[in-house]
Amino acid sequence: MMDALLDNALLISVFVTMLRSATPLLLSSIGELAIQRAGIWNLGVEGTMLSAAFAAYAVVVATGSLPLATVAAVLVGALVGALTSMLTVALKLDQFVTGLAINLVASGLTLYLFRSNHAVFSAGNFTGFAPVAVPFLADIPVIGRIFFQQRLPTYLALALIPLAWFFLHRTRQGLELRVLGENPKVLQTRGIAVAPRLWLIIVAGSGLTGLGGAFLVLGLSDRFIPEITAGRGWLVVVALVAGNWSLFGTITAVFAFAALQAIASHAQVLNLPVPYQFLLALPYIASLATLMIFRSRSGQPAHLGLRDIGK
Amino acid sequence: MTLHRPVLRAVGLTKRFGSVVANDDVSLDVAAGELHCLFGENGAGKSTLSAMLHGELQPDAGHIEVDGRRTDFRSPADAIAEGIGMVHQHFVLARALTVIENIVAGTSRSGWRLGLTEARERLSRLCGDLGIAIELDAPLWQLSVGEQQWVEILKALYLDARVLILDEPTAVLTPQESGKLFGMIGKMRDRGLAVVIVTHKLREVLQADTITVLRRGRKVGTLDGRDATVESLTRLMIGGDLASSPARSSNSPGRVAVQATGLMAKGSWGETIVDDVSLMVRSGEIFGIAGVAGNGQKPLLEMLAGIREPESGSLLIGDRQLEGLSAADFMRAGVGIIPEDRYAEGLVGPFSIAENIILGRHRSKDLCRGLFIAGDRVVAKAEEAMRRYSIAAPAINTPVSRLSGGNAQKVVLARELDQASVLLLANQPTRGLDIGVVATVHEELRRKRDEGVAVILVSEDIDDLFDLCDRIGVMFAGRIVGIVSPETTSRDIVGSMMVGRAPAGGATCA
Amino acid sequence: MRIITRSGPSVTWSIAVYGAAAVVGLLMTIVLISISGAPVGASLVALGQGAAGSPASIASSVVKATPLILTGLATCVTYRAGLWTVGQESQVVAGAAAAWQMSLWTTGMAPVVVIVLCVLAALAGGAALGALVAWFRTRFGISEIVSSMMLNYIVFFALAWLISGPWMASGGTASYQQTGLLERAYWLPNIVDVGKMHIGVVLALIVVIWLQVLLKRMPLGYEIRAMGFNATALSQRGVDKRRLVLTVMVISGVIAALAGVGEVFGVSHRLTGDNLSGMGFDGIIIALIGGLSPLGTLVAGLFFGALHNGSLFMNVITGVPTALVTAIQGVVLILFLIAGAVRRYRIERA
CA-based nearest distance A303→chain B, Å: 10
Q: Measured between CB atoms, which of A97, A115, A284 is closest to C337?
A: A97
Answer whether residue C224 is part of any domain.
yes
Answer whether residue C142 is part of any domain.
yes
Note whether A237 contacts C324, CB cutoff 8 Å.
no
Question: Which residues from chain B sit within 8 angstroms of residue C229, using beta carbons?
Answer: 348-351
Instruction: Give the ipTM.
Output: 0.90
Note whether C233 contacts B350, CB cutoff 8 Å.
no
- How many beta-carbon pairs under 8 angstroms link A with B? 76
> How many other CB atoms are found less than 10 A from the CB of residue B237?
22
The answer to whether C140 faces chain A, any CB pair under 8 Å, is yes
Q: Establish how many alpha carbons lie within 13 A of residue B447's alpha carbon, considering only the half-sphere containing its beta carbon.
A: 10
Whether residue A3 has pLDDT greater than 60: no
Spatial separation of the C-alpha atoms in residues C149 and C137, rounded to whole Å: 13
Q: Measured between CB atoms, which of C7, C217, C229 is closest to B348?
A: C229
Give the structural domain span for C28: 1-36+321-350
The answer to whether A113 faces chain C, any CB pair under 8 Å, is yes
- Same domain assignment for residues C23 and C132: no
Spatial separation of the C-alpha atoms in residues B119 and B107, rounded to whole Å: 11
Spatial separation of the C-alpha atoms in residues C297 and C294, rounded to whole Å: 5
Chain C residue with minimal CA distance to B307?
Answer: C236
The answer to whether C40 faces chain A, any CB pair under 8 Å, is no
Question: Which residues from chain A sit within 8 angstroms of residue C146, using beta carbons?
Answer: 234, 237-238, 241, 287, 291
- Same domain assignment for residues C24 and C118: no
CA A232 to chain centroid? 7
Chain C residue with minimal CA distance to A282?
Answer: C154
Strand partners, C346: C4
Answer whether residue C44 is part of any domain.
no
Encoded amino acid at B346, one letter = G
Q: One digit per residue, pLDDT tens: chain B, 510 residues?
A: 444 578 999 999 999 877 778 899 999 999 999 999 998 876 678 888 999 999 988 999 999 999 989 998 988 889 999 999 999 888 899 999 999 999 999 887 656 777 788 889 999 999 998 888 999 999 998 888 889 999 999 999 998 899 999 988 887 777 778 888 999 999 999 989 999 999 877 778 888 999 999 888 889 888 888 888 877 877 777 665 545 455 555 556 688 999 999 999 988 777 889 999 999 999 999 999 998 777 899 999 999 999 999 999 999 999 899 988 999 999 999 999 999 889 999 999 999 999 999 999 999 889 999 899 999 999 999 999 999 998 888 888 999 988 888 889 999 999 999 999 999 999 999 887 777 788 889 999 999 999 999 999 998 777 788 889 999 999 988 999 999 998 888 877 887 788 777 654 444 444
Preferred mutation among C212, C235, C237, C242 to probe B, highest tally of B CBs within 10 A: C237
Whole-number pLDDT of residue A183: 94
Spatial separation of the C-alpha atoms in residues A296 and B269, rounded to whole Å: 11
Q: How confident is the model at residue A309 (pLDDT cuts 50, 70, 90)?
A: confident
> How many other CB atoms are found less than 10 A from the CB of residue C165?
12
The vertex-A256 CA angle with A250 and A259, nearest 5°, equals 140
Spatial separation of the C-alpha atoms in residues A226 and A310, rounded to whole Å: 38
Q: Measured between CB atoms, which of B328, B350, B373 is closest to C219?
A: B373
- Same domain assignment for residues C211 and C264: yes
The answer to whether A170 faces chain B, any CB pair under 8 Å, is yes
Whole-number pLDDT of residue B508: 45
* DSSP code for B36: E
Chain A residue with minimal CA distance to C345?
Answer: A91
pLDDT tens-digit map of A131-154: 888 888 888 878 888 888 889 999
Using an 8 Å Cβ cutoff, are A98 and C340 in contact?
no
Q: How confident is the model at residue C165 (pLDDT cuts 50, 70, 90)?
A: confident
The answer to whether B370 faces chain A, any CB pair under 8 Å, is no
Beta-strand relationship, B372-373 and B368-369: antiparallel
pLDDT tens-digit map of A86-106: 999 999 999 999 999 999 999
Question: Which residues from chain B sit within 8 angstroms of residue A173, using beta carbons?
Answer: 112
Note whether C240 contacts B326, CB cutoff 8 Å.
yes
Chain C residue with minimal CA distance to A96?
Answer: C84
Chain A residue with minimal CA distance to C322?
Answer: A112
The answer to whether B113 faces chain A, any CB pair under 8 Å, is yes
Q: Establish how many alpha carbons lie within 13 A of residue C75's alpha carbon, considering only the half-sphere containing its beta carbon.
A: 33
The answer to whether A92 faces chain C, any CB pair under 8 Å, is yes
- Domain tally, chain C: 2
Question: Which residues from chain C sit within 8 angstroms of residue A237, using beta carbons?
Answer: 146
Chains that touch B (3 or more CB pairs under 8 A): A, C
Encoded amino acid at B73, one letter = F
Using an 8 Å Cβ cutoff, are A32 and A45 in contact?
yes
Encoded amino acid at C328, one letter = I
Whole-number pLDDT of residue A117: 79
Note whether A173 contacts B102, CB cutoff 8 Å.
no
Contacts of B236 (CB under 8 A, 6+ apart): B213, B215, B220, B221, B223
Answer whether residue C158 is part of any domain.
yes
Beta strands (DSSP E) in chain C are 2-5, 345-348
Whether residue C52 has pLDDT greater than 90: yes
Q: How confident is the model at residue C164 (pLDDT cuts 50, 70, 90)?
A: confident
Spatial separation of the C-alpha atoms in residues C126 and B261, rounded to whole Å: 46
Encoded amino acid at B413, one letter = L
Spatial separation of the C-alpha atoms in residues C92 and C70, rounded to whole Å: 10
Note whether C225 contacts B360, CB cutoff 8 Å.
no
Answer whether residue C211 is part of any domain.
yes
* More confidently predicted of C235 and B225: C235
pLDDT tens-digit map of C262-290: 999 998 888 887 888 889 999 999 999 99
Q: Which of B190-199, B290-299, C208-217, C341-350 has the lowest mean pLDDT?
A: C341-350
Note whether B97 contacts A185, CB cutoff 8 Å.
no
Beta-strand relationship, B194-199 and B35-39: parallel
Spatial separation of the C-alpha atoms in residues C264 and C178, rounded to whole Å: 12
Note whether B106 contacts A170, CB cutoff 8 Å.
no
CA-based nearest distance C267→chain A, Å: 24
- Same domain assignment for residues C199 and C249: yes
Note whether B351 contacts C226, CB cutoff 8 Å.
yes
pLDDT tens-digit map of C119-155: 999 999 999 999 999 999 999 999 999 999 999 999 9
Answer whether residue C46 is part of any domain.
no
Chain C residue with minimal CA distance to A109?
Answer: C327
The answer to whether A301 faces chain B, any CB pair under 8 Å, is yes
Question: Which residues from chain C sit within 8 angstroms of residue B402, using beta carbons?
Answer: 7
Chain A residue with minimal CA distance to C163?
Answer: A277
Which run of H or of E encompasses C286? helix C279-289
Note whether C164 contacts A277, CB cutoff 8 Å.
yes
Three-state SS annotation for chain A: CHHHHHCHHHHHHHHHHHHHHHHHHHHHHHHHHHHHHCCCCCCCHHHHHHHHHHHHHHHHHHHCCHHHHHHHHHHHHHHHHHHHHHHHHHCCCCHHHHHHHHHHHHHHHHHHHHHHCHHHHHHCCCCCCCCCCCCCHHHCCCHHHHHCCCCHHHHHHHHHHHHHHHHHHHEHHHHHHHHHHHCCHHHHCCCCCHHHHHHHHHHHHHHHHHHHHHHHHHHHHCCCCCCCCCCHHHHHHHHHHHCCCCHHHHHHHHHHHHHHHHHHHCHHHHCCCCCHHHHHHHHHHHHHHHHHHCCCCCCCCCCCCCCCCCC
Structural domains in chain B, sorted by start: 6-238 (3.40.50.300), 245-334+420-510 (3.40.50.300), 348-419 (no CATH)
CA-based nearest distance A116→chain B, Å: 45
What's the Cα-to-Cα distance from B315 to each of A157, A203, B193, C295, rounded to whole Å?
59, 56, 54, 48
The answer to whether B75 faces chain A, any CB pair under 8 Å, is yes
Structural domains in chain A, sorted by start: 2-293 (1.10.3470)
Note whether B331 contacts C240, CB cutoff 8 Å.
no
CA-based nearest distance C122→chain B, Å: 27
Long-range CB pairs of A267-272, under 8 A, 24+ apart, other chains included: A269/A4, A269/A10, A270/A1, A270/A4, A270/A5, A270/A10, A271/A1, A271/A4, A272/A1
- How many beta-carbon pairs under 8 angstroms link B with C? 63
Question: Which residues from chain C sit within 8 angstroms of residue A87, using beta carbons?
Answer: 334, 337-338, 341
Residue (of C130, C162, C159) closest to C147 by Cα position: C130
Torsional class of A8: left (φ above 0), alpha (ψ -120 to 50), beta (otherwise) = alpha
Answer whether residue C73 is part of any domain.
yes
- Same domain assignment for residues C18 and C140: no
Whole-number pLDDT of residue B381: 94
Q: Measured between CB atoms, which of B55, B80, B105 is closest to A179?
A: B105
What's the Cα-to-Cα distance from A177 to each of A199, A236, B162, rounded to whole Å?
12, 20, 29
Using an 8 Å Cβ cutoff, are B360 and B381 in contact?
no
pLDDT tens-digit map of A45-62: 999 999 999 999 999 998
CA-based nearest distance C82→chain B, Å: 13
Spatial separation of the C-alpha atoms in residues B326 and C194, rounded to whole Å: 54
Answer whether residue C41 is part of any domain.
no
Question: Which residues from chain B sit within 8 angstroms of residue C243, using beta carbons?
Answer: none
Contacts of C311 (CB under 8 A, 6+ apart): C47, C50, C320, C322, C324, C325
- Altogether, the residues listed in chain C come to a count of 350
Whole-number pLDDT of residue A137: 85
Q: Is the dihedral of CA B233, B236, B241, B242 positive or negative?
A: negative
Note whether C338 contacts A105, CB cutoff 8 Å.
no
- Altogether, the residues listed in chain A come to a count of 311
Using an 8 Å Cβ cutoff, are B495 and B203 in contact?
no
Q: Share the mean pLDDT of chain A.
A: 90
Spatial separation of the C-alpha atoms in residues B304 and B257, rounded to whole Å: 12
Preferred mutation among B362, B403, B412 to probe C, highest tally of C CBs within 10 A: B362
- Percent of chain C predicted with pLDDT > 90: 73
Chain A residue with minimal CA distance to C165?
Answer: A275
